Structure 1
């Protein structure tokens, strides 16, 4: 009797990477692999990598180094590395030179080839590298092992055409390609029939969905279609680019009762000079007008954003423009980043790099501005009843459950584990900067 083969996948990066790992798991399950509980018992270890931040890249190298011992102890162990890092030739060269114990390297465009790569590796002893620079084809119907059985990611498009000067994504994920609306709709209907209550639509810039399709279905039109799917209760999406946020999309968010009252709208910098250097294609005034328009049309919306501190050439005056946008927009929360050089991007060559100590001081000031606003937004919910999709047992208190409101706020409350996967009413009784506390409404 053959021993069951076991796999372990470690994922760094965005929701797109998380969903790619779900597909990899689905493929491995179809090959009759089962999930390992630790590295020591795995027959196949896959690292799905991210290149957006330097920290994630360094973690991958550190983890690969630790696998040398395992490979010595178990020569039959297969080590594979995939994801955005592998799209860069320089990274592949580093792995070939320093991490020769890696067996398989594949990229973001050919996940579907994994069964063949494992088979080919069994017939060879040297490192197998299969990376495509880009692919015009979208592979449908890949088996997928979802992390949850009540909420799911759905890719609606791949790649990016924006070429922000700090971002490596267009070079690792390729040009924009939208999935056919009928394929997205079919996936959503299938998920609803399986009992899924929430879907999150993924794309580097969902607002430009459909531009390469023959029928030119727009993103707002797609939302209206998905809103009619019986059984689905929530629709989320990310990420939105301000330059493509249309009045039609705002109307669709307002009209579609299943679309959550949450908009993630990265602004990155409040300085028009820096925005131009970033190639963001909007200015501070346009961004603030969008915020005002969205809040006027959907008053109870939660607005979140991305902000980069210390982009090359950023002066104190530029940074104060960013603070001004934060104060005027009153974000519910924000993903904040210290600018880090990504080789291969135009900004990496900029000679006006901001010193690290200046970056850190500005970063602290930014957090000092954001935190009271987030707390104020959360405090305004005390005493209100909110609908919560219960996701898990609280990580910090096993007597409590954790879930997300319609506005994507994390809330903790006492309740029975049988509620996981259900949408329940919770009354907000306390607010912290980033989370809420509540009581289940019986």
Structure 2
């Protein structure tokens, strides 16, 4: 056990990661040695930043907490703190059931952790973070919460109403990160589309992205987690205007049948969804769309599922993920619907959908062979360098494996000719 060392473990999404990075900077300023997701936890203090979104994530968070409760009992650590979405949602239950944790914090009161340890929280460092990503890219969280209230989703229960950050504050954070060497920014929120509605009384995402794109040093901006209803079409003109706004959009669609969209409270129809995607592709040629779909939602018939498969065939999403419905306590669907699809059918539908997408993804990747693409280098492996194109977000999208014919530098851009393609990877070499 190393005195004055803190190990921070982050579970869940990139929004949680931003919170952990901010907390790490505060610990550092308070004189602690800070490590993140270390292979070997050896600090006297452990902080677990939990996820409480779906069943599997909650189970992972609980198991992680119990592992460190045992480590504390064995005197391998001295203090154990828990923060994040799980403790925000189940604070009372967790306090009763796992009293060995020194203190639980929610999603927003984690700043109190520093003062509880007798150290001052440094408001002058509120934009500063210790990046856990490679130093050339970072996640920028532009809002908290969600006002959409989809019938299956617990996020509004956990995080509350939508809260946009002021544009000036976001710009200041981006400029600070550029000064520290960051070139690529993943713009994130539970719902990007709604940005500004609460603060400025109108949708402001297009203006925000336009302003960020004009900051010197911003090489790439990539947009994550848009929502299809009331989509701000002015954003498409901004994407065309700026070369440094990646031709990439992550927009969760969940389903396509009107029956399912209505039951899910998505406030959009099949016809509107098709029209939206058509317009996005027309106005931003070459754009890569990432989406997420759900199978096994209560009442999903075979006809609904066949409609979903046909949608995937027609749209040929460049990037797609899917998951099976999991009933979440307190949501509209948990209260009003019966989870009437068996786990076997859910899994079969999920497997069928992903098999269909895998074939499409392989075909789309194969179409890139022979193209020359701008690639940023993320890391070096034994036999090759690993990079990404503007169409690839870290962790979730395909990578480019580059032959070691010359020395390349992490975080730099290179023109790469694509010479081969696999389902989830491209192969290429640098053009000298």
TM-score (norm 2): 0.92
Question: What residue in structure 1 maps to residue 416 of structure 2?
Answer: 426
2:375/2:389 contact within 8 Å kept: yes
| Structure 1 position 189, deviation (Å) | 1.8
Change (3 A) 1:140 1:343: farther
SS in structure 1 at match of 2:199:
coil
Residue correspondence of structure 1 range 139-158 to structure 2 within 5 A = 141-147=126-132, 148-158=134-144
Q: Is 1:13 equivalent to 2:16 in the alignment? A: no
SS in structure 2 at match of 1:43:
strand
Deviations 1:160-181 (A, max 9, x none): 0001111111111111111111
Structure 1 unaligned residues grouped into runs of 5+ = 121-137
Q: Output the CA distance in 1 between the equivalents of 2:248 and 2:141.
A: 19
SS in structure 1 at match of 2:245:
coil
| Structure 1 position 118, deviation (Å) | 2.6
Question: What residue in structure 1 maps to residue 238 of structure 2?
Answer: 252
Q: Output the CA distance in 2 between the equivalents of 1:423 and 1:318.
A: 44
| Structure 1 position 97, deviation (Å) | 3.3
Q: Is 1:309 equivalent to 2:295 in the alignment? A: yes
Change (3 A) 1:97 1:375: same
2:152/2:334 contact within 8 Å kept: yes
Question: What residue in structure 1 maps to residue 164 of structure 2?
Answer: 178
Question: What residue in structure 1 maps to residue 73 of structure 2?
Answer: 72
Q: Output the CA distance in 1 between the equivalents of 2:408 and 2:418.
A: 21
Residue correspondence of structure 1 range 285-434 to structure 2 within 5 A = 285-349=271-335, 350-394=337-381, 398-408=382-392, 409-415=398-404, 419-434=409-424
SS in structure 2 at match of 1:243:
coil
SS in structure 2 at match of 1:207:
coil
Q: Output the CA distance in 1 between the equivalents of 2:292 and 2:227.
A: 11
| Structure 1 position 9, deviation (Å) | 1.5
1:159/1:174 contact within 8 Å kept: yes
Q: Output the CA distance in 2 between the equivalents of 1:215 and 1:271.
A: 32
Q: Output the CA distance in 1 between the equivalents of 2:18 and 2:87.
A: 17
Question: What residue in structure 2 maps to residue 83 of structure 1?
Answer: 84
Deviations 1:71-105 (A, max 9, x none): 123286111111111112xx334423332211111
SS in structure 2 at match of 1:109:
coil
Q: Output the CA distance in 2 between the equivalents of 1:177 and 1:48.
A: 21
- Alignment partner of 2:215 out of 218, 226, 229: 229
Deviations 1:254-297 (A, max 9, x none): 11211001111111011111111111111111111111111112
| Structure 1 position 418, deviation (Å) | 5.0
SS in structure 1 at match of 2:388:
strand
Change (3 A) 1:40 1:140: closer
Deviations 1:315-360 (A, max 9, x none): 1111111112111111012121111111111112311421111111
| Structure 1 position 427, deviation (Å) | 1.1
| Structure 1 position 217, deviation (Å) | 6.8
Change (3 A) 1:412 1:229: same
SS in structure 2 at match of 1:436:
strand
Change (3 A) 1:68 1:223: closer
Residue correspondence of structure 1 range 9-158 to structure 2 within 5 A = 9-36=8-35, 37=38, 40-74=41-75, 77-88=78-89, 91-119=90-118, 141-147=126-132, 148-158=134-144
Question: What residue in structure 2 maps to residue 187 of structure 1?
Answer: 173
2:377/2:385 contact within 8 Å kept: yes
Equivalenced residue count is 418
| Structure 1 position 246, deviation (Å) | 2.4
SS in structure 2 at match of 1:239:
strand
Q: Output the CA distance in 2 between the equivalents of 1:385 and 1:53.
A: 40
